[in-house]
Homo-oligomer: A and B are copies of this chain.
Amino acid sequence: MLGLLGAGGAGLALGGIGGATAASAVVRGERAARSHPFHGAHQQGVTTPAPDALVLASLDMVEGATVDDLRELLADWTYAASRLSQGLEVAEDGAAGTSPEAPPPDSGEALGLDAAGLTITIGVGPSLFDDRFGLEDRRPTALVDLPLFAGDLLEAARCGGDLCIQACAADSQVALHAVRNLMRIAFGRAQVRWLQTGFTHAEGSAERAMTPRNLLGFKDGSANLRVDDPEHLAEHVWVGDDDQAWLAGGTYLVARRIRMTVESWDRTRLREQERVIGRTKLEGAPLTGGAERDDVDLDATDDTGQPAMDANAHVRLAHPSVTGTRILRRPFNYVDGVTSVGQLDAGLVFLSFQRDPEQFVTIQRSMRTDLLNEYIRHVGSAVFAILPGIAEGESLGDRLLA
């Protein structure tokens, strides 16, 4: 098994191979054999590139579960995740088990497959800090449910949760296998609340291949935070030591299931689509001029002296110079069949990492008059504190439950 240290090295190794298509094809092959280190200052799955497949699960501790159950669950998850992320079965003698008279510890559908770049990321939700586990005084100030935003049409069954598991891999089967087996380990202690799958076509790294496109057909991520800039990450993503000590080195995950009314969008004129987004469709260039990755000049005007970008264009309202803040976005697309009225149930699994959920709240409030709101509906929402990374021998729950 290759143990490449993240996207940077692979990107360099592949530089100059040829056009985006050829590079992308090779990258897919490389990725399938790649594994990411499980131990470190931060958990996997935040700055590691987003591969093809996402499985995101939210779980609730079951009625009557104790803080010892929680401690043991996090320890069991740590052991399992450290193995799974290296392409191993969930336990030794996993799929075969130690005896034919016992259920095998591993469900088996990833047998023979490699790690496929699998990352597993574990977090805890605000509800975990109610009065059930004696953790009331360990709740970070920032870990509260998100407010209801204008236009939210949230479904309770797609919101919240005590715990989350984010699994990302180049292979759907590998990502699902990980979450399923962690869910299974939780049996009798925690129970799945909701589960969302997603996909994207290309690495999330801005340096490699292309910026992925969302189901509006537009590039999504052109102006995202650079994961290779430690200062940016320290400023915007990683929690410092200014709140609960157990969370230093962690981050906050905001997850929003954003349904897109793609049928309406597809019947919209190209000019209107571009006005709504604030970028061109083909290139992803800002309407204010320049190329895809150039800074957006919000003051630019057109030939008639009018602003080149609509005052309520998506890109403008989300722009750091307007919101005053930044987040690390990790978007996936989803399709979950059709609705009862015969439309695609498709859209965006919006994931963002930030050192305080307030960053997301600020941006989302800025989007209140976003032209795009006509075509999207936020139907699911959750926030989790992503536990900091651990050293070998440590459990993900050690600092939280010390």
Contacts and interface: CB of A to CB of B under 8 A. Distances in A.
Contact of A282 (B95, B102, B274): B95
B337 A270 contact: no
A306 interface: no
A270 B55 contact: no
Contact of A176 (B28, B95, B273, B335): B335
A281 B33 contact: no
A87 to B, nearest CB: 9
A339 to B, nearest CB: 10
B333 A183 contact: no
Interface in A274-316: 274, 281-282
Contact of A108 (B107, B110, B157, B213): B213
Contacts of A30: 25, 29
Given A192-B342, A195-B335, A195-B338, 11 more contacts: A26-B29, A99-B270, A100-B269, A102-B269, A104-B217, A107-B217, A107-B266, A108-B216, A109-B213, A184-B266, A193-B338
Interface of A: 1, 20-22, 24-30, 32-33, 52-53, 55, 95-97, 99-104, 106-114, 157, 170-174, 176, 180, 183-184, 187, 191-197, 199-202, 210, 213-218, 262-263, 265-271, 273-274, 281-282, 333, 335-338, 340, 342-344, 346
